[in-house]
Amino acid sequence: MAATRNPAKKPAGQKAAKRTKKPVASTLMKMSAATTGKPAIKSTKRSAKRQTNDAAASRLTQLGAETPQPVSPGAAVLETAPNPHQGDLYLVRFTAPEFTSLCPITGQPDFAHLVIDYVPDKSIVESKSLKLFLTSFRDHGAFHEGCTIDIAKRIISVAKPKWLRIGGYWYPRGGIPIDIFYQTGAPPKNLWLPEQGVPSYRGRG
């Protein structure tokens, strides 16, 4: 007499499959740990941080867009992006060898070679917005001292760097070159700080 089959009883293969089935997330975490030595949760955190930085960078209004020249420094928008290496001490240098402004009395053009050094904290200065900010001075009347220090203070107020210095190397006005130097304090310890490399004005000699 043939044995009756129990309909509730499942084949051994199905039982084994059920026992070995594991949550996908747990499997991925173990695979990540096996290949990289670090749990997948850290990768998830890094991904979230990157998404946050990308979202902050996407708020830039001038980079990659057609932007009109600001009519004045006050109308210029200086923008920042997240610092991609907040845990590192490093220097950023901007050089503007053809900076132009106007004498506030005579209206004649003044020219300078600017060197801006700063140590980022949470933000870095977006370079296109800085270029537009600097060129907004070309119809702006101010003395050398005013232009140089105003630029430094604007960057400080927007980017909040750990440290900043600016060298304003101006071409002669009335036969006298005027150079302006400013920094926020002593440079951070262990910072590689190269010379600005702009010699004092020597005329033709």
Sequence spans of domains, the chain: 21-57, 80-183
Q: What is the mean pLDDT of residues 4-24?
A: 51
Q: Tell me the per-residue pLDDT of 165-184, one tens digit each, with 9 for 90 and over.
A: 999 999 998 889 999 999 99
The pLDDT confidence band at residue 77, using thresholds 50, 70 and 90, is: very high
| CATH fold for domain 80-183 | GTP Cyclohydrolase I, domain 2 (3.30.1130)
Residue, of 41 and 62, whose pLDDT is higher: 62
The pLDDT confidence band at residue 100, using thresholds 50, 70 and 90, is: very high
From 23-37, 62-76, 80-94, 111-125, the region with the lowest mean pLDDT: 23-37
Q: Tell me the per-residue pLDDT of 124-164, one tens digit each, with 9 for 90 and over.
A: 999 999 999 999 999 999 999 999 999 999 999 999 999 99
pLDDT given at position 173? 84
DSSP 8-65: TPPPHHHHHHHHH---HHHHHHHHHHHHHSS-HHHHHHHHHHHHHHHHHHTT-SSTTS
Nearest residue to 159 via CA among 133, 191, 122, 195: 122
Q: Are 82 and 100 in contact (CB under 8 A)?
A: no
Helix (H) or strand (E) holding 125, with range, is strand 123-125
Q: Are 89 and 119 in contact (CB under 8 A)?
A: yes
Annotated catalytic residues are 103, 110
DSSP helix/strand/coil, 101? strand
pLDDT given at position 28? 45
